[in-house]
Amino acid sequence: MSWLRLASLAVAVFGGVVVLAPELARQGFSLLVYADRQRIGLFGAQAGAYIALVHAVLGSVMVGWGLALWLVVRGPFAHGARHAWTTVALSVGAWFVPDTAFSLWSGFWQNALLNLGFATAFVFPLAATWRNFHPAVVAAPTPRA
């Protein structure tokens, strides 16, 4: 469970960095995608302003999502509520599949690798706790005639 808390906080902190350090975010994504820290900065002032807006919006969403995941993991998940496991798994999947698919489709495979790193931080702890939340169903004995 502590790994899921850490992963949730990592999502929120990453989002916070994207919002609070826009130059660092721009250079980081530029390096990730173009292997050049300054490439996005060469797109022009208007494109740069729009990219900064998109980064701020996405970073803010990540802060909110990470904190919501942290509260779910800290509360109902920690108390064994099956819906909490499902909530974490579905929210990670609902982000990972379309984000990664579009990243690959649009040629930005580097973002797909970044996504894989974040998803892995959730997938292994979720897999490790599967049996705690989904106990094997014991079939009732069949009556004999």
- Is 134 domain-assigned? no
- Is 136 domain-assigned? no
Is the pLDDT reported for residue 18 higher than 90?
yes
- Is 118 domain-assigned? yes
Average pLDDT over residues 39-52: 93
- Of all residues in the chain, the percent with pLDDT exceeding 90 is 88
Average pLDDT over residues 36-51: 92
- Is 70 domain-assigned? yes
Average pLDDT over residues 64-81: 96
More confident residue, 33 or 145: 33
- Is 138 domain-assigned? no
- Is 54 domain-assigned? yes
- Is 140 domain-assigned? no
Grade residue 138 by pLDDT with cuts at 50, 70 and 90.
Answer: low
The parent domain of residue 9 ranges over: 2-129
Is the pLDDT reported for residue 19 higher than 90?
yes
Average pLDDT over residues 73-85: 95
- Is 145 domain-assigned? no
Is the pLDDT reported for residue 133 higher than 60?
yes
- Of all residues in the chain, the percent with pLDDT exceeding 70 is 94
Count of domains for the chain: 1
Rounded Cα–Cα distance for residues 51 and 40 (Å): 9
Q: Counting Cβ atoms within 10 Å, is residue 117 exposed (0-12), middle (13-18) or buried (19+)?
A: exposed
What radius of gyration, in Å, describes the C-alpha atoms of the chain? 20
> Please, are residues 18 and 55 in contact by the beta-carbon 8 Å criterion?
yes
